[in-house]
Amino acid sequence: MTAITHHTSDSLLAAFAVGSLPHPYAVVVAAHISLCLECRSAFEAHQAVGGVVLDTGDTEATSERLKSNVLDLLDAPYTPTPQYARSGVYPGPVMAALKGKKPKWRRLGLGVRQSILSSGHEGSVRLLHIPPGQAVPDHSHNGLELTLVLQGSFSDETGRFGVGDLETADQALEHTPIADAGVPCICLAATDAPLRFNSVLPRLLQPLFRI
């Protein structure tokens, strides 16, 4: 693996550490942390700080009803969350989103395929399979888009992104990602709003492909 040069922002790591990051982004950040020692260390530092705050912060009295609910939860049977190991190019967090199964690819045209892992009111997270030399249509963003490279690489107006690199794109960025030569580029992408395509055809197909 080449050196990772594009990392998760500190604000995203902090939100992930306290559990406030929406699910689609949490999947991408978890996958990035599994690949990046630097961001994993920063994430663990945020967790440590959070633990200190809990230990030293002020406390507030709770109601008897809340105490009873918490005790009921503690008494309930524990069902462990299944843990998934890395499989091929897919890190454990991606395999968890896939529930241990292979991606179900759907063709988008020009050789590009996608597999939607989840979609809801918080946004969506999907895998993209882009052939070498193929471009994703020129677009900007209505919200935040996180894109993590799992195989191959792509380039756009901001630089080149290889395996483990994370691109963070917001409303200020308009770009045309192009898969580099070599193996197909496989990315994990999360968004909280539809993309803004500049060409007519992608806009017409957008509802069908849920991009």
pLDDT of residue 54: 46
pLDDT at 97: 96
- pLDDT of the residue at 69: 67
Residue 116's pLDDT is: 97
Let me know the angle formed at the C-alpha of 203 by 113 and 193, rounded to the nearest 5 degrees.
80
Q: Which of these, 179, 158, 176, lies nearest to 168 by C-alpha position?
A: 158
Q: Which H, E and C letters describe 98-138, residue by residue? A: CCCCCCCCEEEECCEEEEEEEEECCEEEEEEEECCCCECCC
Give CA–CA dist 7/2, Å, rounded. Answer: 14
Q: Which residues of the chain have pLDDT under 70?
A: 1-2, 50-63, 66-82, 206, 208
What local confidence, expressed as pLDDT, does residue 65 receive?
Answer: 72
Both tokens of residue 138? 């020129």
The Cα–Cα gap between 68 and 184 comes to 54
Domains and CATH numbers, the chain: 1-211 (2.60.120.10)
**CA 151 to the chain's CA centroid:** 15
**Coil, helix or strand for 151?**
strand
What the block records as the tokens of 161 is 């992104």
Q: What is the pLDDT of residue 194?
A: 87
Q: What is the model's pLDDT at position 149? A: 98
Question: Running DSSP on this structure, what letter comes out for residue 65?
Answer: H
- Which residue in 157, 149, 153 sits closest to 127, CA to CA? 149
| Separation of first and last alpha carbons in the chain | 29
